[in-house]
Structure 1
Amino acid sequence: MKKAVPLMIQGTHSDAGKSAIVTALCRIFMQDGFRTAPFKSQNMALNSYITVDGKEIGRAQGVQAEAARISATTDMNPILIKPTGAYQSQIVVHGKPYKNMKAGEYRQDFFQQGLTLIQDAYERLSSSYDRIVIEGAGSPAEINLYDRELVNMRVARIANAPVILVGDIEKGGVFASLVGTLQLLDPVDRNRVIGVIINKFRGDVSLLEPGLKWFEEYTGVPVLGVVPFIDHLIIEAEDSVVLTNYSSKPDDSIDIDIAVIRHPFISNFTDIDPFFEEHDCHVRFVNHAAELGNPDLLILPGSKNTIEDMLYLHSSGLANIILDLAQRETMIIGICGGYQMLGNTIEDEHKIESPHVKTNGLGVVPMKTIITEEKKTVQSEGIARFGENELPVKGYEIHMGESYFDKTCEPFIHMANSQDGIITENKKLIGTYFHGIFHNDALREVVLNEIRIKKGLEPILNRASFAQIKEEGFDLLASEVRKHVKLDQIYQLCEDFREKLVPNNEVKD
């Protein structure tokens, strides 16, 4: 049976731009007529993606599948690790929770099982696609993890994949990090590196030429491209480290001030992404009481550990300020864990997520939430009622908990056989389990125009489609990478590697 041609993208460190390069190559290979799939054996992320069959994978692999214009499956990310605190993570295997494990336990007890899962998933993908673009994680030169790693060179061996190493020049020291990484690799693995890409470059590339020449002469490894910093990249992030790039302060020159609570276990913050594309919106992330101020819209996003994040809101003083904003009828929207925080109590009797069995919520919604062992993961749709507007919406749900109302409340979303969330009569308080709720253009428009009218501003109609903006973003990213990498050379090197090397696969027990 014919197997896919693989290519693996590794980085000198986290946030080197691996995910963006993989996304670009998925779109490029698709544009060039190849049926292409992404693959990441093991992903650690709090932002996740729900497949059409209701399974949970890393957000990046779902987005990369969209770039390749295919449906995402769990074979594209068979192992997802979701940190829950106290050096412990929830291990998600093929889209379903497996168990909570500490790092040492995972490394010691899960390695062989994980290796088999990865091999089987990759083999299924390889028999179904023409090209597989594989993403590594962190650095392949973490020598303390080398003997039992499941995401970098061991995966390259399983797939018999050539590797392109990506370095981030914006952080400085790019040549040192590239050379150091190559020198720390096992010689067999170093021979898999067919080239490097320098990412996030600003300025005149001719000034970099002496360094590029020196690098190639010193290492014997070709530089396959220098990709510029793309100022406005519409690619969803999955690591909360990117949130440090956003301001916590209001911008009085922009009409609508949107504050997002950045609690410690924030998850699926990509729910907020559409607001970044609205020119009348300024989005800021706050994690201190002094930063919150008086926003036009306050969003409580999802959480991987709702009780711990709620305790943080209480201890930081944010809870009291949120309650004050609620009394002043600021529009407040809670999503998933943020929705649970709006209620009276959150209970975790079996300590599934937290060592604390119960905490008080904000108490602005008459409900309690009980954390359950069964995780709900599903793509959902229904009709959202916002005042006189009845708007079709789609989203996805990921939650380990059920919410129960102490008295009758007006649901926010009406589905075929159930209801979701809550909306108050004055439309100032909304809660929902629907992630991606703001990706629905019509709903986003009426919410923002509600705020504009309250502020005495003219409503803005026919706002841009966020789905179309994302598609244009994929094409822009692909176009920039095409311009600045030696694509023909990459194609040739992949073919040469396939002919030259014998697979060095890990052997199953």
Structure 2
Amino acid sequence: MNTKQSNSHSTPSTFEGAQIRQGKASQCKTLMVQGTTSDAGKTTLVAGLCRVFADLQVKVAPFKPQNMALNSAVTPCGGEIGRAQALQAKAARLALDVDFNPILLKPNSDTGAQVIVHGKALMHRSSSNMEASEYQDYKKVAMQAVLSSHQRLTQQYDLVVVEGAGSPAEINLRKGDIANMGFAEAVDCPVLIIADIDKGGVFAQLVGTLMLLSQSEQDRVVGFVINRFRGDIKLLESGLTWLEERTNKPVLGVLPYLHGLDISSEDALVTQQALVEGTSTSSKVRIVVLVYPHMSNHTDFDALRHHEDIDCQFLFAKGSKDEINPEKIAIPACDLIILPGSKNVRGDLDFLRQRGWDDDIAKHLRYQGKVIGVCGGYQMLGALIADPEGLEGQPGVSEGLSYFAMNTVLESKKTLINVSGILELTDKKADISGYEIHAGVSTLNNSGAKLSHLITIAGEGQGLISDDGQIAGCYLHGLFDQPEALQLFMGWLGYDVKKAPSIEILEEQAIERVSKACQVHLDMVKIKQIVTEWYK
């Protein structure tokens, strides 16, 4: 066992990247990372390993067989994958590929989800949505999609680093598993298990997880990684010794708690960004993002949260969405209210009204505040939202908030595209780019209301801004990611803010921090040795 925090573990310079390709006819190797719980650090560890190996000139690719997430990204071919895999692809210095995440489940109710296979929603049935029980039967088909993607990656790369989902010890989900040990057994790959010590009970997590696996599954667990450790490593060493003796598995490293690290991880909102009583006294701009049950792509607001001149808060409602009289939490005084995207627009619009947020928005506008709707939030600002095929829930039509003279119809063919254009606000312009993921087709209803386009893309107007300049909306995700566009939006609110680094730069810095932590605190030589020996 080696638990020292520096120098004891070899850095990438101590072994050549070519060594990872040793074995049977230079065959591609696969290493899987599974976790004892959700949010144990799987996404972060896979990203860190991808960057370490990429810097060693190893052709490495990320992979997640099945992802359940409402945060997604668009590939160059017009497919859809989880944003966590998009980040891992960036860590591996690769363009996005639908094979990195062959199965993506996008929940639109407590028991159902839209099923995305190889980047596209299922189209062989009346709806791409499935209930959980129905998807359980579909897993045999899904596994074939997973294995075909993995096979294509093994033909292109030297190493595939795989992220599991949740925990492999979920007894009720083990039958037909394609996300954890079911996949590992199918492709015969070694597995690392990571646990979060900051949650407490780390030894119980690791031992308990291991004991709930079959013997063949236990045999492919090649080591443990402990994540988010704070304090003196010497105080942990006796526990690590016990763990190794109890399980006969090595501890391959203890990653430190990286303060301030903000890296894409499935759907979990950054907890420290939850609504705080009062607002920051050091921030100029006050922004509130409404959180509803099926909120999607919360990463749209990362640039706002990171900006030192902006106090961006997520407003969570208390109580169940099914309660007749839920406790109301009023939208606090702010400069801007943002209605984010949604995977169930009509359901989330009902939720918004149940909380009385529609009245709060009206009051906010009377006091000259501003509102932006993004994707599903943009649709909510219109007059009507129709879902005739029941793509996001029960078929039907809902009345929107009616701030825009616009009707939206949800159609089975999804728009999936990366776009660039020109943002126009307050007689100023800025370059802007992002991506669109939506089933809705929105058209003006010719009511005579004066509306202008917010963005020009390929010579055509996109999105809307009200004639009084208070309300804006569009389908573009990533509105605030470019520094110049963010400054223009803040100027629209009446503030002159500093030009901050782009989200691309911030993501790159986060990846480098994780990569460095892996180099210093993991036994990378041992991990490389485990991978190469597994395939001899």
Same structural fold, with TM-score higher than 0.5 when normalized by the shorter chain: yes
Q: Which of 121, 124, 131 is matched with 1:102 structurally? A: 131
Instruction: Output the CA distance in 2 between the equivalents of 1:465 and 1:336.
Output: 21
Identify the residue that residue 164 of structure 2 maps to in structure 1. 136
Counterpart amino acid of 1:205? I
User: Secondary structure at the residue paired with 1:443?
Assistant: helix
1:74 aligns with 2:111: no
Matched ranges for 1:194-205 at <5 A: 194-205=222-233
Q: What CA deviation, in whole Å up to 9, does each residue of 1:60-103 have, x standing for no partner?
A: 11110011110111111111001111511110111111121111
Q: Is the 8 A contact 1:243 1:285 kept in 2?
A: no
- Shift of the 266–246 alpha-carbon distance from structure 1 to 2, 3 Å rule, reads same
- Displacement of 1:354: 2.1
Q: Which of 42, 51, 56 is matched with 1:32 structurally? A: 56
Instruction: Output the CA distance in 2 between the equivalents of 1:203 and 1:170.
Output: 11
- Displacement of 1:112: 1.8
Identify the residue that residue 404 of structure 2 maps to in structure 1. 365
Which moves more between the two structures, 184-193 or 416-425?
A: 416-425
Which moves more between the two structures, 419-428 or 224-233?
A: 419-428
Aligned-residue CA RMSD (Å): 1.6
Instruction: Output the CA distance in 2 between the equivalents of 1:217 and 1:320.
Output: 61
Greater relative contact order (Cα < 8 A, sep 6+): 2
User: Secondary structure at the residue paired with 1:352?
Assistant: coil
Q: What CA deviation, in whole Å up to 9, does each residue of 1:409-460 have, x standing for no partner?
A: 211111115321012355421101000111121110122244353xxxxx23
Instruction: Output the CA distance in 1 between the equivalents of 2:533 and 2:261.
Output: 33
Instruction: Output the CA distance in 1 between the equivalents of 2:181 and 2:39.
Output: 18
Q: Which of 444, 447, 452 is matched with 1:410 structurally? A: 452
Q: Is the 8 A contact 1:236 1:273 kept in 2?
A: no
- Shift of the 23–489 alpha-carbon distance from structure 1 to 2, 3 Å rule, reads same
Matched ranges for 1:450-469 at <5 A: 450-453=492-495, 459-469=496-506
Q: Percent identity between the aligned chains?
A: 38
Instruction: Output the CA distance in 2 between the equivalents of 1:159 and 1:417.
Output: 48
TM-score normalised per structure 1 = 0.94
Instruction: Output the CA distance in 1 between the equivalents of 2:194 and 2:437.
Output: 32
Instruction: Output the CA distance in 2 between the equivalents of 1:365 and 1:393.
Output: 23
Instruction: Output the CA distance in 2 between the equivalents of 1:361 and 1:237.
Output: 31
Q: Which of 373, 397, 403 is matched with 1:334 structurally? A: 373
Identify the residue that residue 75 of structure 2 maps to in structure 1. 51
Q: Is the 8 A contact 1:268 1:302 kept in 2?
A: yes
Q: Is the 8 A contact 2:50 2:60 kept in 1?
A: yes
Q: What CA deviation, in whole Å up to 9, does each residue of 1:284-336 have, x standing for no partner?
A: 11133524111112111100000000001111111110121122221211100
- Displacement of 1:483: 1.3
Aligned residues: 493
Instruction: Output the CA distance in 2 between the equivalents of 1:247 and 1:485.
Output: 36
- Displacement of 1:465: 2.6
Instruction: Output the CA distance in 2 between the equivalents of 1:195 and 1:240.
Output: 27
Instruction: Output the CA distance in 2 between the equivalents of 1:148 and 1:434.
Output: 37
Matched ranges for 1:126-205 at <5 A: 126-205=154-233
Q: What CA deviation, in whole Å up to 9, does each residue of 1:3-22 have, x standing for no partner?
A: 32211000001111100111
Q: Which of 492, 516, 524 is matched with 1:487 structurally? A: 524
Identify the residue that residue 442 of structure 1 maps to in structure 2. 484
Q: Is the 8 A contact 1:249 1:291 kept in 2?
A: no
Q: What CA deviation, in whole Å up to 9, does each residue of 1:167-193 have, x standing for no partner?
A: 111111110010011111111111111
Instruction: Output the CA distance in 2 between the equivalents of 1:190 and 1:219.
Output: 10
Q: What CA deviation, in whole Å up to 9, does each residue of 1:362-392 have, x standing for no partner?
A: 1111111111111111111111111221222
Q: Is the 8 A contact 1:248 1:291 kept in 2?
A: no
Gaps of 5+ in 1: 454-458, 500-509
Instruction: Output the CA distance in 1 between the equivalents of 2:270 and 2:212.
Output: 28
Identify the residue that residue 351 of structure 2 maps to in structure 1. 312
Instruction: Output the CA distance in 2 between the equivalents of 1:258 and 1:269.
Output: 14
Instruction: Output the CA distance in 2 between the equivalents of 1:465 and 1:143.
Output: 43
Identify the residue that residue 354 of structure 1 maps to in structure 2. 393
- Shift of the 345–380 alpha-carbon distance from structure 1 to 2, 3 Å rule, reads same
1:284 aligns with 2:309: no
- Displacement of 1:204: 1.4
Instruction: Output the CA distance in 1 between the equivalents of 2:369 and 2:188.
Output: 56
Instruction: Output the CA distance in 2 between the equivalents of 1:384 and 1:90.
Output: 32
Instruction: Output the CA distance in 1 between the equivalents of 2:441 and 2:57.
Output: 45
Instruction: Output the CA distance in 1 between the equivalents of 2:175 and 2:443.
Output: 48
- Displacement of 1:237: 2.9
User: Secondary structure at the residue paired with 1:362?
Assistant: coil
Q: What CA deviation, in whole Å up to 9, does each residue of 1:249-304 have, x standing for no partner?
A: 34241222111000110000100011122111122111335241111121111000
Which moves more between the two structures, 243-252 or 405-414?
A: 243-252
User: Secondary structure at the residue paired with 2:477?
Assistant: coil
- Displacement of 1:471: 1.1
Counterpart amino acid of 2:508? E
Q: What CA deviation, in whole Å up to 9, does each residue of 1:232-260 have, x standing for no partner?
A: 11312321354576234342412221110
Q: Is the 8 A contact 1:2 1:127 kept in 2?
A: no
- Displacement of 1:160: 2.2
1:394 aligns with 2:433: yes
Q: Is the 8 A contact 1:237 1:270 kept in 2?
A: no
Identify the residue that residue 268 of structure 2 maps to in structure 1. 240
Identify the residue that residue 8 of structure 1 maps to in structure 2. 32
Instruction: Output the CA distance in 2 between the equivalents of 1:469 and 1:395.
Output: 16
Identify the residue that residue 258 of structure 2 maps to in structure 1. 230
Q: Is the 8 A contact 1:266 1:302 kept in 2?
A: yes
Matched ranges for 1:283-302 at <5 A: 283-288=312-317, 289-302=328-341
Identify the residue that residue 125 of structure 1 maps to in structure 2. 153
Counterpart amino acid of 2:455? I
Instruction: Output the CA distance in 1 between the equivalents of 2:110 and 2:512.
Output: 41
TM-score normalised per structure 2 = 0.89
Identify the residue that residue 504 of structure 1 maps to in structure 2. none
- Shift of the 441–245 alpha-carbon distance from structure 1 to 2, 3 Å rule, reads closer
Q: Is the 8 A contact 2:335 2:493 kept in 1?
A: yes
Identify the residue that residue 115 of structure 2 maps to in structure 1. 91
